[in-house]
Amino acid sequence: MSVLFIFIDGIGIGERSDKNPFHLKSYESFNWMSDQDMFIDHDPVFKEKHLFKGIDANLGVKGLPQSGTGQTTLFTGVNASQEIGKHFGPFPHSGIKHLLKEVSIFHAAKEQNKKPYFVNAYPPIFFEHAKKRNRWSCTTLMTRSAELSLNSTEEVLKEEALTAEIVQNAWREKLGIDIPKITAKEAGRRLLNLVPDHDLLLYEYYLTDKAGHNQNAEDADRVLQPLDEFLLTILKEKRSEDTLVISSDHGNLEDLSTKTHTRNEVPLFVIGPEASAFSEAESIMDLKGIISDII
């Protein structure tokens, strides 16, 4: 049994509004996981091997949730916003980096002699900039601190990793890196091919947060379409014994009327035999502990 944890940056549960991309268009994977309606007035879903509910991302701190503190909380189980007395992002604050370096979900897996894997790959220019400035995102700092390798071009070509936009367009078209274009369905199958060799796999999709800041419905649809096909492939083809967990760090994309993040609850989707273990989760702080218990 493995856990597939897909982190989607910046999606909350919003209103039925023409400013909410999840209301404007129909996305089959999200409709199926939320039992047709991912909106504030929709009841949670508790079925055998299928859970959907909203969970808190505000963490008892005033202001708008941010990625640095939200992701740190999500991946460590510690309320990072309360640790420093504010929401902070997009990178982790110096006062919470120690959490990602010491008590992350990857550290917990390794302590149990389990095999975690971060599926994302990064182009050479990312490593150049990150090392020069010693500025790492939450996921990359966590991965490096757990003594796991960050993937780059070699792993993409060997079909052992995925780029941030799923279908590998940006590396080829914007960076001139010679990698093939793949479909979102092929990307989903690539992820599933990695599952048998690992106990915990994490994939990060952050283009949703960028699209939310752009406040453009067409841009939102552009990043949601491949994500929808990617998730649908995983839902249809994953092994029955594996559990898929999907959540976010804060709201944003669900409300294109504002350029900022929101204080909406974020969705928690769990599909698989361990879904019931998440029934009592109330905030993004709860996920790390539950995942650590079930792998």
> Which CATH number is 3-294 given?
3.40.720.10
Q: How far apart are CA 266 and CA 254, in angstroms?
A: 10
Q: How far apart are CA 25 and CA 148, in angstroms?
A: 39
Read off φ and ψ for residue 45, nearest 5 degrees. -115, 120
pLDDT value of residue 132: 85
Instruction: Tell me the whole-structure pTM to 2 decimals.
Output: 0.97
pLDDT value of residue 131: 82
pLDDT value of residue 214: 96
Q: How far apart are CA 223 and CA 227, in angstroms?
A: 7
Q: How far apart are CA 180 and CA 55, in angstroms?
A: 38
- Give average pLDDT by consecutive 10-residue segment, the chain, 295 residues: 98 97 96 94 94 98 98 98 98 98 98 98 92 91 97 97 94 91 97 98 98 96 98 98 98 97 98 98 98 97
pLDDT value of residue 134: 85
